[in-house]
Amino acid sequence: MIATDTTAKIALITGANKGIGLETARQLHAKGVTVILGSRDLARGEAAAKSLGGGDRLRAIKLDVSVEADRAGAVRWIAQEFGRLDILVNNAGVLLDEWAVNATSTTPMSMLRETFEINFFAVVDLTQKLLPLIRKSESGRIVNLSSILGSLSLQATEGSPVYEAKMFAYDSSKAALNSFTIHLAHELRGSRIKVNSAHPGWVKTEMGGEGAPMEIEDGGRTSVELALLGPDGPSGGYFHMGKPIPW
């Protein structure tokens, strides 16, 4: 993957006050990008921005992606402050299922609805609302934080790395998110905007747990690579560390 010049680029990262979102913010900021850290709690977002050094290139906004008013407010604020958006990293997400327990037949509707509201519907709505600003960018990039657990091919293939990891609400929400990536990339083909899904890996975060094999620094790499794709980079793909994942 080839990175572009990041001078004066503006990025919004959702769920950016901790974990992979914060690490993605750290790495993009280090490359000269102005980063807007979206956080459900503004104070935590501001503290996260300060932990990265603060300054004009690190801004925090209140953005609970599950709240429509927050999504609309973020769009208005970015339009007023910057007039465009170059990079959108849809990082915020939840995993409410019991880890690696296949309870498909008893998964509560409430869990499915909450998971899809945050992992899918909020992403679609926020992206649609921000597209007019992304269209103003010379090289708009949309990165949807998916998971290898959303791969229908691997989930259906006995012996694959994720075959036994069946968490119905989470996995299906990420499969739906992947479908959004494919459809939006197809609609935007021929434009300067690239849309891709990222699998960050199994990372030592609050969600991933201490037993995860990957360090947080590596967990941010795929998002950063896709956020900084050059004009010859892919769109409508599903990647981990530069390598494609089967849908």
CATH code for the domain defined by 10-244: 3.40.50.720
Contact between residue 162 and residue 155 where contact means Cβ atoms under 8 Å apart = yes
Letter for the amino acid at 143? Answer: V
Q: SS3 of 121, please?
A: helix
Taking Cα atoms as reference points, which of 143, 148, 149 lies closest to residue 166? 149
User: What's the confidence (pLDDT) of residue 3?
Assistant: 42
pLDDT along the chain (247 residues), means of 10: 58 96 96 97 97 93 98 98 98 95 98 98 98 98 97 98 96 98 97 97 56 67 96 97 95
User: What's the confidence (pLDDT) of residue 74?
Assistant: 98
Letter for the amino acid at 137? Answer: S
How far CA 186 is from CA of 131, 196, 229, in Å, comes to: 15, 11, 17
Rg, Å, the chain Cα set: 17
Question: Which uninterrupted H or E stretch holds 11?
Answer: strand 10-13
Sign of the Cα pseudo-torsion (48, 57, 198, 104, in order): positive
Phi, psi (degrees; rounded to nearest 5) at 203: -115, 150
Active site residues: 170
